[in-house]
Amino acid sequence: MSNDPFQNALQQLNQVANLLKLDDQTVKRLSSIDKSIQVNFPVKMDDGRVEIFTGYRMQHNNARGPYKGGLRFSNQVSKSEVKALSMWMTWKCAVADIPFGGAKGGVVVDTKKLSESELKRLSKSFIRSIHQLIGPQQDVPAPDMYTTPQIMAWMADEYSKIVGSPTPAVITGKPVRSGGSLGRNKATGQGGVFVLQELSKVTSLEPATTQVIIQGLGNVGSFFADFAIKAGYQVVGVSDSRTALYNPEGIDLKRVLNYKKQNGTLSGCGSAQEMSNADLLEMETDVLVPAAIESVITEGNADRIKAKYIIEMANGPVTPEADKILRRRGIVSVPDVLSNSGGVTVSYFEWLQNLNNEKWSEQKVISELKKKITKAFIDGWQAREKFQTDFRTAVYALAVQRVVAALPKVK
């Protein structure tokens, strides 16, 4: 695999295309980005200077519905990264079986260097520069790395001013007061635990005797840990970016989260063995949940992973090279396009609520999420048998197959 994210995405597609025996013309269509947009837009800074920022919006494929995908604000944003992420969003929406295609966008910026007023002006200026490309039936952005519900609210407000009428369905991930959905903040973690429960059914894991390690206690990891414990699983390891805690008797999650909130770190929390994130990944457990950053399981440590199952809650936490080693060792990975699809699924529910001027209860949101995630897992598991391949490849094959079935004929 190369260091170019889009080349990696194409390599994954080609592998699945061979399995599905797709013709060259179809592979060419799936390998192409429908629209690749770069914008350079002005933002007035607090001191009166005008800075020019670069932003991207990549629209990969809309055969199954309007483009859908996050907007990230980061110095690391690149054209190749956003192209790859837009393709992965196409597969994720197809896995979840929601009527969206894939898109992704971003602005090259370090948000820590901006005041709130500068961030607001940047958000609105970016939307002005891409507003003709987006819309409730065209392309529906959402939050991603270093963007927030508040930023989404500013963007939706600016779009509504441009088109001359309130259009909340143009963007999802908004605050509830601005048309956002109840249950959205916990949806990704909750969806991951629904996946864990389905995995338990097909592999005969008993929750009470199933140990779980979660690397990363951000929004996704902390909700996953909480819901896993409530579902009867034994969480024996957790970590933040600097410190990991491991206790084979179980972690007191409430205490750990309170300590983290008060001290800004897990170091010194007590009642568990402290170690590095790298060491935590290699501890004894039934289920390992990487929920922080990409590429934490590599060919360098894959031989030392002791978990029987991996549920990928981060994006791309297992490198392709590591995946081959894990597969050879009989370790089953539930891929990120399935495991963490709870977020985009509830984004779809938010879009529906906005279009129909409805407000669902949190209970309804979670109930509908469970139906969608459960079906996605079962479909993926059955595809594993159908294609006689590993779970990751089967899930990708299922997604690609669904997109191919929706491709319009070329006239």
- Active site (catalytic) residues: 104
Backbone torsion region of residue 20, taken as left when φ is above 0, otherwise alpha when ψ lies between -120 and 50, otherwise beta: alpha
Backbone torsion region of residue 58, taken as left when φ is above 0, otherwise alpha when ψ lies between -120 and 50, otherwise beta: beta
Backbone angles phi, psi at 212, to 5 degrees: -130, 135
Q: Describe the strand order of the beta sheet including 67-73 as a list of residue ranges.
A: 35-44, 50-61, 101-107, 67-73, 139-143
Distance CA 290, CA 318 (A): 9
Distance CA 237, CA 249 (A): 10
Backbone torsion region of residue 164, taken as left when φ is above 0, otherwise alpha when ψ lies between -120 and 50, otherwise beta: left
One DSSP character per residue, 169-189 reads: GG--S--GGGTPPTTHHHHHH
* DSSP H or E segment with residue 394: helix 391-406
Distance CA 19, CA 163 (A): 45
Which is nearest to 93 in space by CA: 139, 127, 133? 139
Is beta strand 67-73 parallel, antiparallel or unpaired with respect to 101-107?
parallel
CB neighbour burial string for 248-274, b if at least 16 within 10 angstroms, e if fewer: eebbbbeebbebbeeeeebeebeebeb
Is beta strand 67-73 parallel, antiparallel or unpaired with respect to 273-275?
unpaired
Question: Environment class of residue 190 by beta-carbon count within 10 Å: exposed (0-12), middle (13-18) or buried (19+)?
Answer: buried
Task: State in Å, rounded, how far the first CA of the chain is from the last one.
Answer: 36
